[in-house]
Amino acid sequence: MPGFDHDSLRFHYRERGEGFPFIFQHGLGGDLNQPFSLYQPPAGIRLLGFDARGHGQTHPLGDVDQLSIATLADDLIAFLDHLGIDRGVIGGISLGSAVAVNVALRFPERVRGLVLSRPAWIDGPVPENVRLYAMIARLIRELGAAEGLERFLRTPEFQAMERESPDCARSLIGQFEQPRAEECVARLERLAGDSPCGDRGDYRRIAVPALVLGNRQDPIHPWAIAETIAQLIPGAELRALTPKSVSLEAHTADVQQALDAFFQNRFREEVTPC
């Protein structure tokens, strides 16, 4: 399986297609299957992604003190260096979008464009998200993943989430069901409470084409966050996705259509096959 070594870790990655590089990173507790299931790159696009530290098949967990959005951004730059990619479109889903923002602000010379799908941070964490993930982490630590899940399903917080957004509820269950839920529980505690930047005014420094994807009926990724980020980044496009709780198929189709249009409208010359 493809991998690269960095900071004493072995990172698992995948690529599909050839051409203009698009790095698309997964969310908290997920792995590279998430972005690869959402986007099928057309001719001229090289889709790339890797399992972030503490996720998927990237081993070992390493120093938990290094579990931060900035460190995940450093890992992404190491990934680009490994592949010999000077610049690319950097994107991500949820946590991945926070990492992409951090890369764009700290390494602007490496970023040709930006894709932020269902962002969950602006310049600080959403308090309710921090509380939810801290609860999940505590249950995993105290009871183990299996018993912790049984207890979580009985909480008012889960039951309210299930009524409001069944897909978000399923994603929270997934935090218990991940194969490395107990080994990597620190990711929930440290990453959920982190931030891509310290000041929302920093977004105004982003000077590359940007696409922001958001949806309603998603309390973990509020529409207001996507809307605010799109207003802060000069010239950013904002596109609404069908909520996954309404239709996963429609959501996936919306992501595909939005990304295809973004690449064709903003990077036509770079993505057109010779």
Nearest to 239 by CA among 214, 264, 206: 214
Q: What percent of the chain has pLDDT over 90?
A: 96
271 pLDDT above the threshold of 90: no
Same domain, 137 and 257: no
* CATH label of the domain that carries residue 75: 3.40.50.1820
HEC assignment per residue over the chain: CCEEEECCEEEEEEEECCEEEEEEECCCCCCCHHHHHHCCCCCEEEEEEECCCCCCCCECCCCHHHCCHHHHHHHHHHHHHHHCCCCEEEEEECHHHHHHHHHHHHCHHHEEEEEEECCCCCCCCCHHHHHHHHHHHHHHHHHCHHHHHHHHCCCHHHHHHHHHCHHHHHHHHHHHHCCCCCCCCHHHHHHHCCCCCCCHHHHHHCCCCEEEEECCCCCCCCHHHHHHHHHHCCCCEEEECCCCCCCHHHHHHHHHHHHHHHHHHHCHHHHCCC
Average pLDDT, the chain: 96
Same domain, 76 and 119: yes
Q: What is the pTM of this model?
A: 0.96
Could you read off the pLDDT of 151-186 as tens digits, one per residue? 999 999 999 999 999 999 999 999 999 999 999 999
Tokens of 261: 């249009």
Same domain, 60 and 119: yes
pLDDT the model gives residue 179: 93
Same domain, 45 and 112: yes
- Four-CA torsion 195, 196, 198, 203, nearest 10 degrees: -140
Q: Which residue has the tokens 């982003």?
A: 206
Same domain, 34 and 164: no
274 pLDDT above the threshold of 70: no
Same domain, 149 and 13: no
Same domain, 74 and 202: yes
Identify the band that residue 273 occupies on the pLDDT scale cut at 50, 70 and 90: low
Could you read off the pLDDT of 38-92 as tens digits, one per residue? 999 999 999 999 999 999 999 999 999 999 999 999 999 999 999 999 999 999 9
Question: What domain range is 46 assigned to?
Answer: 3-124+195-271
Same domain, 29 and 65: yes
Identify the band that residue 270 occupies on the pLDDT scale cut at 50, 70 and 90: confident
Same domain, 257 and 163: no
The number of domains in the chain is 2
Same domain, 222 and 264: yes
